[in-house]
Chain A
């Protein structure tokens, strides 16, 4: 005699799947790959200047004094245009923003900054996504909060919208 209980197993498995799938349908799709480097020290790097107007960026430039923002961007990236005013707003609040330009040409960087404003103190050129990969960033734009000791404290994925500005300021405050 086979156990009657076994006959319910398929239904139970299906019910579990349907539950998970139903829950997933109600959830906003998380399209982003988050960095696993939050809480880890910023890896060593030194990048040449992305264009003639500003110095390049190295790990040491992000250390000491106060927390800073590390903005991963590119002149060919459309959302980067959208976030330019927000970066300006952050700069106006006294935030120091170090940029890393991904696979970008100096003349394109210069044009972009001339058109949309220049919130950066330094911009390093990352032509082979070396630093981007080292900090676990998977796209442009992304913004990282780096504290004075050089530890990655927070990652913002995608363009910074107006409502994100106070959020980032709070994260910078927390990182002090």
Chain B
């Protein structure tokens, strides 16, 4: 019954998406000010649809928890012997389940928008919900027609196939759901942008409605990418945290667009400028989410093991992409000309700095997009090329370095127009920090150019991030400003981690006999012994490494080489020793014929700062949301109280009237 309830809920949700779309579209037909009676169904349709889609997902979750082997998806991706946590997370560890999660989040964000948002004009709201319903409908169709997660097997399987061991990790519980929520949360920004464009309501009031959605999605994306990077780092066993892999880039591109959008929305809300830009970025951000889904799901970029990828599904998603991205860009091209340009500002103003950085972020996005898609384009001409870190790092740095420099100064500038001379002290301080940090670092050692620059910029940004607080009473600083300070400081922290990892990482690769010792950095690593161990669904050989820093008290690390049996696959479990100033990363390899064991150990100074920085950035976003919502609620209560008082006054004035 579980599967049937889930499937029925999905079909009903799809039907409601049609209702939402049609009813929302009727709102556009109403005269200005008047409300079309047929438009009233859009909101409830979105809310009930969200409930149904979440119900469908809950049903699949339940099926995975009880390992219902009569469902094809469960039989193909789960196993009765798997620990409960991985049974649950395995729900989205496969194509159909992850698409259902995608659709569930899509419906949920649409439902939240419909349920919570009361500020927009009805026509704009109707158009927004119509777009949201239209997008949802396409993905329901994709699920129901080509990726049905609830398909039954004619005969229930005796045992499930199991989940890829690399995914049997707490990372699967955290990373995909947050990233999906961020990805798909951007659909609200997309729908709002389309709604505002269709009804010509691109104004600060609309920006204030859009802002919390953008911030929320951006926070989730930031957190999801940070978690994913750390997961890949410790799980894949080779010590890398970012490789510019197409799949990684697929998550970075929406983040870049969302970062630009978030800043652009702020300008629109505060200063009524950058109207077209904001709409463009709103469309672009969710387009990048969908593009990422296409790249990953269609298999056009993952060539060698393309067997698991269905070209029919790829064609389906490409069709949806054409419909939504193509449609949105067409409407943009037709309607954006009618959007007036908004308020003007001087080059040396906060808007000026934000425009500069928006353009830089867009340029980095273009570089990532180019490098990711280029191999696909040449393959169409039967030429195969590889684009990797040696291309992406310098090419994106061309735009990232000016961006960081402007980012240091931008928050100090006033809106509309400012005199650069006013900031003489701040600018010279930032420049001094930048130069002395670079000078200091180049004295320390022979550091490659980009990490050296990264160290300098990190120091300058860290100082610059705190400067907006200068001369202000800290208790009176708005929460949202704290958010910005924290997020910008997080960028500095993350950049510092990246630069240190790139400049100072030490690696030791050796064949070691039990009892033997190797040196990496300040650490001496002694292989005590190697012994077999067993887990619930794997066996492994485990090395005991005694790690001692500068002859101090040794700590035991136990890296493993695991063999899972369902599905049969070998993985390498790294062992990490975290210190405040870095991480020691140890992996065990094969045994050589002479009995020695291959071990690989890295000392990565300050590598953890990469993810600490990511968390700070996300936390800054959370503070910004909290601050905005608080101000908004205050304003609303103030308005409401004003209304009440006005009504009272009117009543008082009116009261004596009849007496006369």
Contacts and interface: CB of A to CB of B under 8 A. Distances in A.
A62 B5 CA distance: 68
A77 interface: no
A31 interface: yes
A104 B326 CA distance: 54
B379 A24 contact: yes
B382 A30 contact: yes
Contact of A11 (B294, B306, B330, B341): B330
Interface string A93-134: 000000000000000000000000000000000000000000
B294 A21 contact: yes
Interface in A1-41: 2, 4, 7-8, 10-11, 14-15, 17-18, 20-27, 29-31, 33
B304 A31 contact: yes
B516 interface: no
A30 B300 contact: no
What bracket does the count of chain B residues touching chain A fall in? 20 to 34
Interface stretch (B39-47, B332-340, B402-410): B332-340
A21 B318 contact: yes
A20 to B, nearest CB: 5
Chain A contact residues: over half helix, strand or loop, or mixed?
Answer: helix
B385 to A, nearest CB: 12
A25 B336 contact: no
B311 interface: yes
B322 interface: yes
Contact of A25 (B314, B322, B333, B373): B314
B126 to A, nearest CB: 25
A26 B312 CA distance: 10
Nearest to A34: B384
Contacts of B283: 10
A143 to B, nearest CB: 20
B409 to A, nearest CB: 27
A20 B376 contact: yes
B329 A11 contact: yes
B326 A11 contact: yes
A8 B382 CA distance: 30
A21 B300 contact: yes
Contacts of A7: 332-333, 336-337
A8, A10, A22, A26 pick with most chain B CB within 10 angstroms: A10
A27 B304 contact: no
B167 interface: no
Contacts of B321: 18
Interface residues of A, number: 22
B250 to A, nearest CB: 14
Interface string B15-58: 00000000000000000000000000000000000000000000
Contacts of A18: 318, 321-322, 326
B493 interface: no
Interface centre among A2, A17, A23 (most CB of B within 10 A): A17
Contacts of B377: 20
Contact of A21 (B303, B341, B376): B376
B605 to A, nearest CB: 34
Contact of B326 (A15, A26, A31, A33): A15
B314 A4 contact: no
A157 to B, nearest CB: 13
Nearest to B377: A20
A43 B298 CA distance: 40
A17 B380 contact: no
Interface string B353-379: 000000000000000000001001101
A8 B336 CA distance: 10
B326 A4 contact: no
A10 B377 CA distance: 18
Interface string B189-229: 00000000000000000000000000000000000000000
Contacts of B330: 11
Contacts of A8: 333
B401 interface: no
A25 B380 contact: no
B380 A20 contact: yes
B280 interface: yes
A22 B325 CA distance: 15
25 contacts: A7-B333, A8-B333, A10-B280, A10-B284, A10-B332, A10-B333, A14-B326, A14-B329, A15-B326, A18-B318, A18-B322, A18-B326, A20-B377, A20-B380, A21-B298, A22-B315, A22-B318, A24-B376, A24-B379, A25-B298, A25-B318, A26-B311, A29-B299, A30-B384, A33-B384
Given A7-B336, A10-B332, 4 more contacts: A20-B373, A23-B380, A29-B299, A29-B303
9 shortest interchain CB distances as A-B pairs: A11-B329, A7-B333, A8-B333, A29-B306, A10-B329, A24-B300, A25-B314, A7-B336, A4-B337
